[in-house]
Structures are given as C-alpha cells and as structure tokens.
A and B are shown apart, each in its own frame.
Chain A
Amino acid sequence: MTLPSAHPYAFLALFALVAIAFPLLLLAVAQLWFRFFQPPKPSATKNDVYECGVAPTGDSWIQFKAHYYLYAILFLIFDVEVLFLLPFAVTFTTLPAGALVAMLVFILLLAEGLVWAWHRGHLEWK
C-alpha cells in the first residue's frame, strides 16, 4: 500500500511520533513488571558493590586521578592525525609537492604541541 497524497515531510511527523511513543511504551512496561513481578526485597548481598562475580573489596566510592585526561587529549590529537594521514598516503603519488609541504606544516604544528606539553611537565604522572 502506498500513500500517494502524503505530504513529503509527513514521514518526519510520523518519525517524531514513534520516537516519543517508543521509549514511553518501554518505560510503562518496565513499571508494570516492577509493580507485579518484582516486589522490593533488599538484602546485604543485593546491596553489595558489583564486581564481576568475585567478592568485592572495599567501597565503590573511591577517588580516581583525573590527571589522565591530558594523556587522553594528546592521544586524541595524534589519533586524528592518523585519520588525516591515511587518505593522504593513499593518494600520495598523485599529489603535487605543495600537498606534502601542507601536511608537514600540519604535523609540525602537532609536534610543537607535544613538545610544549612535555616541557611544561604535563606528561609527568604526579
């Protein structure tokens, strides 16, 4: 069956409707399940810290060192660099010399960033 007279943007309205209805439906089912099949019975074991099957040691509320975000940023920069280098390398033989210069400038800028972070001592684990 086709809908020849439907407005070209009608599917957007339908999409929005389904997008709103679907999660509401799931939430309603979950609520009903909870109400009829899963009465709350807390116990010491149930309230334990989840640890992949082994017996938990200590509290789950521990402090993580946030310092690693700098490593993450530096890794991300060079990760993205690879993304740019790969298509460049694939078509390398057909590119003029200017493209090589442009890419070298790009890599030098990233390298300068790494040198900067190194000199400022951001790579030392404190």
Chain B
Amino acid sequence: MSPDYTGLFQALRPETSLLFGALVALGLDLSLFRRHTSGERLNLALWIGALAVLAAGAHVWFGPHGPIFGGVLILDPLAVATRLGVLALTLLTLGVATAARTPRNPAEYVAIILFATTGFMLMAAAQQLLLAFLALELASLSLYVLAGFDKTRPESAEAALKYFLFGGMAAAFLLFGFSLIYGLTGSIELLEIARQLTLQGLSPLLVVALVMVLVAFGFKAAAAPFHLWAPDVYEGAPTPSAAFIASASKLAGFTLFARLLWPGLRAAAGNVSTLHGAPGWLPAVAVISAVSLLLGNFAALAQTNVRRLLAYSAIAHAGALLLGVIAAGRSGPAPFFFYAATYGLATVGAFGVLAVVERTGSCQKITDLAGLHRRSPLLAGCLAIFMLSLAGIPPLAGFFGKFTVFAAALQLGGLAGPAGWLAFLAIALSALALYYYLIVLKQALVAPPTANASRIVVPTLARFTLMAAAGLIVLFGVAPSLLLDLF
C-alpha cells in the first residue's frame, strides 16, 4: 500500500497555514519592515498571525474527517473540536499580546506562538506514539522559548529554565514509557497497541511503562505532585505567554492524554467505579487527581500573588480535568473537552485583564487590583466573569463544565467507588475555591483604589479580545449544546 500523500497534505492544511503565516511574519519583519518601530512590527506580525489562525480554522472546519495517512492522524470529533478550541485560544492570546508590553523581537514572538499552535494541532489529532511525541515536543520547545522571551528580566529567565528542566525530564520519562510500550506490543500505532494489549493483559513491564507515561503527563499538565514548575512559570513568564501556557496547551495536552489512555491503553485501564476496583492506570490517575485537587485548592488559599493563585487554581483544575479523563471511558470525551475549553477561555481572559492592568505598573499582588472598578469598569466586569466562571457559578460556562464532568464521574458507579468519592471531593473543594476567587474579586470590585492609581485606558483590540472571551463564556454557559454538538 503506497502512502496517501494527497490526503496527508489536505489534512495538514491548517498546520500549513499556521507555518506559512509564521514564515511570512518573519520574512516581512526581516525585509520590508526592518526600519519600523517595534510597536508597528508587533502589530503587523499579530495581524498576519491572526489571519493565519483564521485560515487554519476554516481549513479545520471544511477539511477532511476520519483516519489520515493510514491512521497516523485521526480527525474525529474530538480532534476537530480540540483544533478549533486551540485556534480560538491562540487568537485570544494574540489579542492579549496587543495589550502586553512589546517584546524585544515581536515577529519572532508571534512566529513561535504559531509554531506552538502547530504542535497543539498535531497533538489533537495524533494517533501514533512517534507523532504524538514529536507534536508534544514541538509545542513544548516553543513554550519554553515563550516563557523566557523577556530574557532580560531575571524572573522570566528563571521561569524558562525551570520549565525547560522539568519539561525535558518529562519528555525523557514519556519517551522511556513509549519505548517500553513499543517493546511490549511491537507497534507505535495506538489501535494496534490496543489490540496487542487486550491479548497480553497487565504485565510488570507495562506497569512501569504506564507509570512513566503518567509521570510525564503529570508534569506537562501541572498535576500535583509534578506541579512544582507551574507557579514560577505563571509568575515569571510574559503575560501572553503565561495565558497561552495555561490555556491552549492544557486543552491540547488533555486531548492527547485522553486519546492515548482510552483508545490506546484501554486494556490496562483497571477500574475505579466500585469499591474493590481492578489495578491499572485508572487508580493511578485517580490518585493524581485527588492530590491535585487537594493541593491546588489549599495552596491557592495562602497566595498573595494573583498569578501564583491562578497557577495553584490551574493545578486544582487539572485535578478536575483528570476526573473528566477518568469518566471519558463511559461518557466520551465531551465533558472534559467542554471543561478544558471553557477553563482555557476564562484563564486567557484573566491573564488578559492582568496584561492590561500591567500597562500602568506592576500587577503581581492581589492588592495591585484594588479599586479596579473605579480605574476601569470594563476590566473589573470582565475579571468578575472570568473568576466566577473559574469558580463555577451559573450561568457561566465554568459551572456547566464542572456539572458535566462531575455528573459523568458520578455515573461511573455512584458513590460506590473511588470515582464517585472523587467527584464528591471535587464538589466540596469547589466551594473552597470560590473563597479565593472572591478574594481577588473583593479587591477588584469592593476595595478602594490606592491614592496614586490612575484610570486605565484599555486599547481597542484588547477590549475586543476581553469582551469576546467574556461573551463566549456567557454564551457557552447559557447554551452549552453549541460546544457539545461538535461531538
């Protein structure tokens, strides 16, 4: 059978658009726009990037479906939904970048965001270990650079180094785990691996491979106890980079994780629905989920830095998302996808607000947001929507995300097994989470502004971005079927 290159090129049109956009942005910046100010160069690059993202979105929407290139890529509803979600979050990140401080090399900044997006797009569709690893590394390497882009600031350099060291370690674990899986099954295709594992059952070597893969994904998803890089990266990275790392990479990462675990390693899943479950990766994921929920929520209570608070809340959300991955075996990927997509929207929005506030001075402490309702009612209103959505208040999208994930987890076996208890724990901790989100909102909506605080002028594009994110959150909260109908 000769490989179907035409089909491959057609399926990879979105990725091609993104790469083309990145190369055009770099090329124009080097040639025609060399003498322009860095602000103008940033604007040009951002517009080219936005066009490339929109073109990629059209290609995803109208593009082919089903297995591509002999099953190396799979364009099923989950892949298409994740690709669209990643593109939307990238577009919002580019919008946030219009408000943030201009980076030293604007065209390179946008180009690397587009490269990372290409990686996410491939992660969303990869159905083969090698491609999955390459896509993950393309995305990760770009994210390390984005975290350290403001390299003259020590915090940014520190964030990049920590992220790189932890990420490199995780990549090594992942590759080791993949190589063991390949050794056991003789294949790198997920469907073939699944077939082989059904015949073999749970061997000691497979347990080692599963542990390696879970550790690696724990690092990448910032799930406790592999979360140590997250607070420093969120704190030190340039604001648009932090928004990107917190949103699009989470969505693509969890899609890849769920695809690897459920169709690929389903035979080694085990059982957590009943009291006396079976061994497999499900119990391990359940433990990681519980630790993330507990550690993320309790550590967030003690934070005085708003970015570190968002980081610990991200760890807690990773725990809830892992619960969604556990439930995906029975309910399909729709619940955790909805959760991850709406979580990404709210996080990009929250970092967008921080980026705009940062234009008038530092915005690290929670008290830096004091009196935001006087300084800019629009920012305060948007921040309220994002924070309340993260906390899971109806009618915002965060509520419905939590609802679908917890409902799916409870359907696994009610309160008869660890999955149900985990859902119960997550519900209880959501109440706790509301407290620290309200601490932020109290500063923004109630506390008076400090004496020397001035009004904040929100740039047009940033205003449009924030309103789009807030609007989408309200829309998906009121009409969740808009997203769920993609499946």
Contact = CB atoms under 8 A, between A and B. Distances in A.
A116 B5 contact: no
A11 to B, nearest CB: 13
Contacts of B19: 109
B30 A99 contact: no
A112 B30 CA distance: 11
A98 interface: yes
Contacts of B204: 9
A99 B8 CA distance: 11
B2 A112 contact: no
A99 B30 CA distance: 31
A98 B8 contact: yes
A119 B30 contact: yes
B3 A112 contact: no
A102 interface: yes
A112 B6 contact: no
A112 B26 contact: yes
Given A9-B204, A119-B30, A112 B5 contact: no
Interface residues of B, number: 12
B30 A116 contact: yes
A101 interface: yes
B23 A112 contact: yes
Contacts of A98: 3, 5-6, 8-9
B130 to A, nearest CB: 14
A9 B206 CA distance: 13
A97 interface: yes
Contacts, number: 26
Nearest to B19: A109
B118 to A, nearest CB: 11
Given A9-B204, A109-B19, A96 B26 contact: no
Nearest to A102: B5
Contacts of A102: 5, 8
Nearest to A7: B204
B366 to A, nearest CB: 40
A101 B2 contact: no
Contact of B2 (A9, A96, A115, A119): A96
Most interface-central of A97, A98, A115, A120 (chain B CB within 10 A): A98
A98 B2 CA distance: 11
Contacts of A101: 5, 9
A102 B6 CA distance: 11
A3 to B, nearest CB: 19
Interface in A44-100: 96-99
B73 to A, nearest CB: 14
A109 B23 CA distance: 9
Contacts of A120: 30
A97 B23 contact: no
A16 to B, nearest CB: 14
Most interface-central of B3, B5, B204 (chain A CB within 10 A): B5
Interface in B83-107: none
18 contacts: A9-B204, A96-B2, A96-B5, A98-B3, A98-B5, A98-B8, A98-B9, A99-B5, A101-B5, A101-B9, A109-B19, A109-B23, A112-B23, A112-B26, A112-B27, A116-B30, A119-B30, A120-B30
Q: Which 5 A-B pairs have the closest CB atoms?
A: A98-B5, A119-B30, A112-B23, A96-B2, A96-B5
